[in-house]
Structure 1
Amino acid sequence: MNTALFSTLTIKNVTFKNRIVMSPMCMYSSSNQDGKVQNWHLTHYASRAVGQIGLIIVEATAVEPQGRISSHDLGIWDDDHIDGLRKIVDLCHEHGAKVGIQLAHAGRKAKLEGEILAPSAIPFEEKMKTPKEMSEAEITETIAAFQAGARRAKEAGFDVVEIHAAHGYLINEFLSPLTNKRSDQFGGNAENRFRFLREVIRAVMTEWDGPLFVRISASDHHPEGLSIHDYVNYAKELKILGVDLIDCSSGSVVPVNIDVYPGYQVKFADRIKNEAHILTGAVGLLTSGLQAEEILRNNRADLIFIGRELLRNPYWAFHAACQLNTKIETPKQYERGWNF
């Protein structure tokens, strides 16, 4: 059976062997608080490559020390991080997977000792630290940190860079009127709130010429926040800037209750793909090969991002192939296990 899920996709100079993406998920496993890769990361990512995932995106990786979500996050703020990241890339490449990295800054959601930064001095919730409102000089420094992170990603051999502009972290905080109360050139209206992301993208693209993804929270799930309508407009601008694909998640910029069900975020990928005319990735409780095939065949997205299901099952791709009655490449060491 010819399937959409196991068809190839080429973006710029990179061809993905199928449409399955391992969504970036923090491991909180940099044991020495130095942001360096540990053996856990090597095992974790390489096993998904053995499991025939087409693109593996390494977890949110901090471009600055104070941009970590936790003190045990991976980092890319120093050249000393490159060798460990390169080991992840090389191991995954051995098994035919392409590898991306998500460049990130946690902003006000950083759970760290010392000062944390945000566009405005508003804590995420009462129990969390109040951030310092960033000066324009600090904004410029952070943009430069994303640029340096992109250079290091290229040196480490990654195939894809994804900019993390979702889930209430720093870039998302600049975009949303719920968290950005600035009155300078980085706030006050939709165009100014978009400025920080625009400048990050431009800086990254001076170092990075491969496929560039941006993860967004396509709805704040709040009546005074951003909606999918706003993000369709932003997606059009991102396309003009040279972004190749929008990874469409939602929420987490402020504490809210979200009605969660299988495929609950696919509608965002669908609208952005078909209204902004840009490639999109669908994510959010996608657990079945049949579900993934329906999304792709009906032109609702171009890539399927799998998160927690790949934590439970590194070999999800084989199960999806069985559901779709198709055969996929299998490591010779495992052929006996999938020959049925």
Structure 2
Amino acid sequence: MQKNIFKSCLLIAASCFATVSHAEQSAAFMQRDDVKAFVQKMVTKHQYNERQLNQLLKQSTTQEKILTSIAKPAEKLPWHRYEPIFMSDKRIQEGVAFWKKHAKTLQRAEKEYGVPAEFIVAILGVETFYGKHAGQYQVLDSLVTLAFEYPPRSAFFKDELEQFLLLSKEEKWDPTQIKGSYAGAMGNPQFISSSYRNFAVDFTGSGKRDLINSIDDSIGSVANYFKVNGWQKGAPVVLKANTTGDKFKSAIASTSNPKPEYSLPQLAALGISPPRNANAFKGHNFALVSLESKDGPEYWLGGQNFYVITRYNRSNLYAMAVYNLSQKIKAGYQQAV
């Protein structure tokens, strides 16, 4: 009995210490010049209630594990280690099942936005395993941590925190209850706050854009995101490239911004040749994408639609994984139906 009472006292003491510690940390946090400046910006620019915003920010907690996660993203891996993360048999099979279940919605999205169903499914498969793993971080904590404790991208995440607060007002959310990724992405398609505000659509006609609970809204929103960012219906996504000599190295695209700037004749002059059926793609421009395989670099020609996928996540690795997964899912779906 005495032992239990002692344990209870220890727990209560620990809880009180944690509460005091958090209160002290919050007080110190709210006295920072950059935090005060952010609050004043929200008040001046958006007529946000200063007292309410101060109270909200006091409830947030900066988390070291968020900083650890963003410093080691999967996109820093070589291609031969990155691709297997998303190309499991289970992810492909679940993608086929998802397509079969939501075939009508995917067909409507493809018709309205010109984005093939397999790419919409693949995005949802890569991002959240078709809505099953949408993140367990409090979005407010993620954005506050990265806005004020991650100098390399502080400006970006302050903007996203601003967008999140505005989005929460628009959608009538309690900002402390919304969960997402360590980077503050939300819902089935993992939209960051600015993307949610700019690209999310009400694909059900409910009067509400709900990417957290509605698969239909998520499907429509991914398709809309691609269309607004320049998806070209029927255009090539990516083609295998063959290279000779050394001139081609000058054309290797950025790993995060592979703009399709070279025509096929220009590429040929640099010693870069596409597959034999490339005549069908005359008139299209491409970027030379380099990926690190186990046996050395492999080269691909990324078209406009490949570039669009990198607008969703600015990584050639990401775009290639989405493409490969989409083709596996498409083959599985065609076989199943």
Shared fold, TM over 0.5: no
Structure exhibiting the larger radius of gyration computed from Cα positions:
2
TM-score (norm 1): 0.23
TM-score (norm 2): 0.24
> Which structure's residues are more often helix, by fraction?
2
> Which structure's residues are more often strand, by fraction?
1
